[in-house]
Amino acid sequence: MEKNIRDYEVGDPAIDNLISELVKLSGSVENEELLREILTTTIKLGRESSDKGDLKLVNNALKELRYSFKIFSPYRAIKKVIIFGSARSKINSAEYKMAEDFSRKLTTKGYMIVTGGGPGVMEAGNKGAGTGKDFALNIRLPFEQKPNPYIDEKEKLINFKYFFTRKLTFVKETDATALFPGGFGTLDEGFEMITLIQTGKSRPRPIVLMEPPGSTYWATWMHFVKSQLAKKGFINKEDLNLFHIVKTVDAAVKYIEDFYRVYHSIRYVSGLAVLRLNREISDKTLKLINKKFKDILFGGEIRVSPPTNKEIQEGEFLNLPRLAMSFNMHDYGRLCEMIHVINKD
């Protein structure tokens, strides 16, 4: 039997009653249970840990997340693209110019840009974005990572102490990823993005690996991925559908726009994967995906569906058409491949 959320308590009636009173005073009726859990966890941590370092870590992380949520909250309805790349790229380098042009073209199409806030490719991303259309998530380091001068609105510059809170915000608050040539940090962020989608910890998104003509950076990387990871069975060959290499800005912009041409978003509800769509798909495409992607289902078929009860309760995109299926929660590379097929409808 599932444990009742109210069973999660400090265990001291006086403290538990004070927590309940404080939650009621917060005025957030719809989130009372979650707030009660957060406060209960805070008290438990204080009673159970004598390590001040533990408490400082939790305190700083919670404050960083709270502030980043506050900054991004008014812009949640606008699609955003995160740009990763080397902090050491020079202003006259091909990848700097490419990132600047990419950012400029995306913002003219209604997207917002998110960068790591530093120099190099990150600076190019902020420079190319229109005024007020970009964010910078800077990491405090003893060297190299000072905020670049092209962040127009200083309230959209967020300084993080921890990489993990910064990375979480990168993923949570963006809808597409662009990776330019870079060092350990770029590869770390790129592999993490791919891993999160591969394991279902992040929703499907377009990931473009961008490099200027003449560069062999991603081609060399892809050779390693194919020969050492895919060929030796460390990943499935279908996982190569999780990202796409491009040589031009226009190709990258098109790939991102095409990903959301028909597909809108996904929600997992009571054993179902529910794909929300920007418009209905044809019967021909529905038959095609049922035939081509039967292997990723536990059973049944991919079918047109109304909003689930959970989506209705939470008011999630109720005007959008839907597809529902018993997805096996494993083959996310194939799921991304199916999204590409749907977008060709």
| b/e map 137-154, b = 16+ CB within 10 Å | bbbeeeeebebbebbbee
Residue 134 pairs with which residues in a beta bridge?
113
Considering only CA atoms, which of 174, 50, 60, 29 is closest in space to residue 116?
Answer: 174
CB 276 within 8 A of CB 267: yes
Instruction: Specify burial of residue 182 (Cβ count, 10 A radius: 0-12, 13-18, 19+).
Output: buried
Q: Is the dihedral of CA 29, 31, 37, 40 positive or negative?
A: negative
Q: Using the structure block, give the residue that is written with the tokens 């004598």.
A: 50
How long a stretch of residues is the chain?
A: 345
pLDDT tens-place values along the chain, 345 residues long: 344 556 899 999 999 999 999 999 987 888 899 999 999 999 999 999 889 999 999 999 999 999 999 999 999 999 999 999 999 999 999 999 999 999 999 999 999 999 999 999 999 999 999 889 999 999 887 765 577 888 877 889 999 999 999 999 999 999 999 999 999 999 999 999 999 999 999 999 999 999 999 999 999 999 999 999 999 999 999 999 999 999 999 999 999 999 999 999 999 998 899 999 999 999 999 999 999 999 999 999 999 999 999 999 999 999 999 999 999 999 999 999 999 999 999
**Gap between the Cα atoms of 265 and 243, Å rounded:** 17
